[in-house]
């Protein structure tokens, strides 16, 4: 620290010059003492207590900064900052000189206290003896090693169990929240929030995500909007005022009227139309009299409602009376009154006629033309009717051709999935339809979801349900189609972030188990079968299961028009009272008669015992016996299924026997 200053060299040189004889030891000792004293005095004068000096300089700097309102102290501030930096450098060098060599670089960074505690812990945790299987204490190193090796060898020796599949079958394959446990541990509103979090089948590890955007990745832009929402919400909490027109804005942009009338309606509700009074308020020197009646000042309410010409137009509307609106004084309040006492169709008529009245007013103001009130009314109503008729024609004859459902390539199955949420957001369900290249329905699934989920979450859970069903019936090549383009893009881009990134992670893990897979987007019109399955309801299920409720219904049609109708398939399965749990075997039968080949084929099952597990976990054994009427062999106790077969359809079909 001293050697960095030039005066240090001068002090040392002065202490040794002319006073010390090199051959005299006492002179050398005296010179060293004199040099040390001079350096100590110089150190106290120049450096003093370095940390204290640093603090003093910082206090001076703070005072200068606070007093520097106009920037006049800039030079002095920079000087103090330079002195503080020099003192900090000196302090760093001082600690380097005082520290031990071991403290620097890669030396031991632990303190003496740490080493003493570590040594004590080592003594306490040392194993001095082990108890073997015979109850004898082993104190030698070899004896303790033998005990440890013997213990772990026996621990990992398998007994070669042969009932692994039986144990797996008894385990519940559903992944869902333990509702009772969550509700017992948390407050009601906390439990609802937790139960509404969707969980993936493979239960990936939890992680922290950024909730400011859909991708779960922090950005300055998203943080700005989060902060803005917090500020706005705090301001709303301080003020009880709420814009009454918020309800109007939600309905306005969904009206079936032309866009130019929507824009006119919005401008009318915020008083942004160029009436004479508004133009005069903007500094334009014109008369504020109404160009139609020439009697009163033209405010917006007068021009649209209260003018004599406008009143005669509104007299044609028998549903609403102009007299009721006189006390409202503002167009936005008139529209709110119509919404409260009428329908959106009444609001469409109001805005359409108001636009026609304003159009007639412009004709008078700029072209000196005026239509009769009846003509203005008929023009407005015919304009709206023509627009709605064009919308209907456009929907009936879409410009883009709808090719419907397209079959997959040979050997590949197509999985159509869809999710639906009720308007109040309380109930959600998913639907799955699996078909082969011939359009034959291989499987159909309707699943009720646990908790309240967003639309995106429901769509992702629908994809997961479809892929899980395909895996359970041992399909290897699949194409997944649904109408949520954002979910399709996320899966194809291997996106696993955001609030539902764990669902995408589970979906991608499932897809990797197939030999080939593809995820495509399809229009909603081409995904109707899966969508209708989401609307399928079985009321009795809600009384038996509080969590997610699943009905997996599989019908295998070989011919006929039922192959593309999963809804009919579900109804038939309910009529036959077939509870689908796990397939044991599959046989094909005919409605009218059973050929000798069919009987011989089914006879192969005679006396065969098919062991399986019920979903309750109880063991069951099916013995195949011949049916009295048809001769077809079926599981004992399920003869009624064959009795009900002729009532289904006159087509060849396959019946699944399930335990």
Q: pLDDT, tens digit, for every residue of 514-539?
A: 999 999 999 888 888 888 888 764 33
Burial of 484 (0-12, 13-18, 19+ CB in 10 A): buried
Residues of the chain predicted below pLDDT 70: 1-5, 18-23, 47-48, 69, 96-110, 171-174, 234-244, 395-403, 423-425, 536-659
pTM of the model: 0.44
> Tens of pLDDT along 240-291?
455 667 778 878 888 889 999 999 999 999 989 999 999 988 888 888 899 8
Predicted local distance difference test score (pLDDT) of residue 593: 36
For residues 577 and 502, give the distance between their C-alpha atoms in angstroms, rounded to a whole number.
Answer: 37
Q: Are 568 and 649 in contact (CB under 8 A)?
A: no
Which DSSP letter does residue 205 get? P
Task: Give ∠ CA 232-233-238 in degrees, rounded to 5.
Answer: 95
The residue whose two tokens read 């031990």 is: 100
Q: Are 543 and 437 in contact (CB under 8 A)?
A: no
Predicted local distance difference test score (pLDDT) of residue 658: 35
Predicted local distance difference test score (pLDDT) of residue 333: 87
Predicted local distance difference test score (pLDDT) of residue 591: 34
CB atoms within 10 A of CB 181: 10
Positive/negative CA dihedral, 481, 484, 485, 488: negative
For residues 317 and 331, give the distance between their C-alpha atoms in angstroms, rounded to a whole number.
Answer: 17
List, in order, residues 6 or more apart from 469 with CB less than 8 Å away.
415, 432, 434, 443, 445, 552
Question: How far from each other are the two terminal CA atoms of the chain, in whole angstroms?
Answer: 89
Q: Are 634 and 642 in contact (CB under 8 A)?
A: yes
Predicted local distance difference test score (pLDDT) of residue 218: 85
- How distant, in Å, are the alpha carbons of 102, 174, 416, 435, 557 from that of 477? 65, 24, 14, 12, 20
Closest listed residue to residue 441, CA positions, set 527, 570, 585 = 570
Which DSSP letter does residue 652 get? -
Where are the domains positioned within the chain? 2-98, 178-206+400-575, 208-242, 247-396, 585-659
For residues 630 and 642, give the distance between their C-alpha atoms in angstroms, rounded to a whole number.
Answer: 8
> Which pair of structure tokens corresponds to residue 439?
């359009």
Q: Are 25 and 40 in contact (CB under 8 A)?
A: no
Task: Determine whether domain 178-206+400-575 maps to CATH 3.40.50.970.
Answer: no
Predicted local distance difference test score (pLDDT) of residue 14: 77
């Amino acid at each position: 620290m001293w050697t960095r200053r030039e005066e240090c060299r001068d002090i040392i040189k002065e202490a040794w010059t002319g006073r010390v004889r090199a051959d005299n030891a006492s002179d050398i000792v005296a010179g060293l003492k004199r040099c040390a004293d001079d350096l100590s005095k110089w150190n106290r004068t120049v450096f003093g207590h370095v940390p204290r000096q640093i603090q003093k300089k910082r206090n001076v700097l703070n005072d200068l900064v606070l007093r520097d309102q106009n920037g006049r102290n800039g030079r002095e501030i920079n000087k103090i900052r330079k002195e503080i930096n020099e003192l900090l450098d000196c302090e760093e060098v001082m600690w380097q000189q005082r520290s031990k060599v071991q403290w620097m670089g890669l030396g031991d960074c632990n303190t003496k206290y740490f080493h003493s505690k570590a040594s004590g812990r080592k003594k306490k945790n040392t194993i001095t003896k082990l108890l073997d299987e015979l109850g004898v204490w082993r104190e030698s190193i070899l004896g303790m090693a033998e005990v440890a090796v013997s213990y772990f060898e026996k621990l990992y020796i398998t007994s070669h169990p042969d009932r692994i599949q039986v144990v797996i079958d008894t385990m519940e394959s559903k992944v869902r929240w333990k509702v009772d446990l969550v509700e017992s541990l948390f407050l009601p509103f906390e439990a609802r929030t937790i139960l509404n979090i969707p969980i993936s089948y493979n239960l990936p590890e939890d992680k922290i995500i950024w909730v400011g955007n859909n991708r779960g990745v922090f950005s300055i832009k998203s943080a700005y909007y989060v902060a803005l929402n917090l500020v706005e919400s705090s301001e709303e909490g301080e003020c009880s005022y709420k814009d009454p027109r918020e309800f109007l804005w939600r309905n306005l942009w969904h009206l079936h009227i032309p866009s130019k009338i929507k824009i006119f309606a919005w401008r009318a509700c915020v008083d942004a139309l160029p009436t004479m009074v508004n133009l005069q308020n903007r500094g334009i020197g014109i008369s504020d009299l109404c160009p139609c009646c020439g009697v009163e000042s033209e405010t917006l309410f007068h021009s649209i409602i209260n003018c004599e010409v406008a009143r005669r137009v509104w007299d044609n509307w028998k549903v609403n009376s102009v007299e009721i609106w006189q006390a409202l004084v503002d167009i936005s309040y008139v529209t709110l009154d119509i919404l409260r006492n009428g329908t959106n169709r009444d609001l469409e008529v109001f805005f359409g006629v108001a636009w026609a009245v304003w159009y007639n007013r412009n004709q008078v103001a700029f072209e000196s033309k005026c239509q009769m009130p009846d003509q203005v009314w008929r023009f407005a109503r015919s304009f709206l009717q023509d627009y709605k008729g064009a919308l209907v024609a456009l929907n009936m004859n879409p410009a883009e051709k709808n090719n419907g459902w397209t079959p997959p390539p040979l050997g590949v199955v197509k999985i159509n999935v869809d999710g639906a949420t009720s308007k109040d957001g309380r109930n959600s369900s998913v639907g799955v339809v699996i078909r082969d290249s011939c359009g034959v329905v291989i499987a159909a699934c309707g699943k009720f979801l646990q908790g309240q989920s967003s639309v995106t979450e429901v769509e992702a859970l629908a994809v997961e349900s479809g892929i899980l069903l395909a895996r359970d019936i041992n399909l290897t090549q699949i194409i997944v189609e649904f109408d949520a383009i954002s979910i399709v893009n996320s899966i194809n881009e291997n996106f696993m972030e955001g609030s539902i990134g764990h669902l995408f992670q589970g979906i991608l893990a499932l897809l990797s188990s197939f030999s080939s897979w593809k995820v495509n987007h399809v229009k909603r019109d081409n995904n109707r079968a899966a969508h209708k399955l989401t609307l399928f309801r079985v009321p009795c299920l809600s009384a038996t299961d509080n969590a997610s409720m699943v009905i997996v219904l599989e019908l295998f049609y070989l011919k006929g028009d039922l192959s593309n109708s999963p809804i009919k398939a579900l109804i038939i399965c309910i009529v036959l009272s077939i509870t689908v749990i796990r397939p044991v075997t599959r046989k094909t039968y005919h409605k009218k008669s059973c050929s000798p080949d069919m009987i011989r084929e089914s006879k192969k099952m005679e006396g065969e015992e098919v062991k399986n597990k019920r979903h309750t976990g109880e063991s069951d054994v099916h013995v195949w016996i011949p049916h009295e009427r048809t001769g077809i062999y079926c599981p004992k106790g399920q003869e009624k299924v064959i009795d009900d077969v002729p009532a289904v359809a006159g087509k060849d079909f396959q019946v699944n026997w399930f335990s």
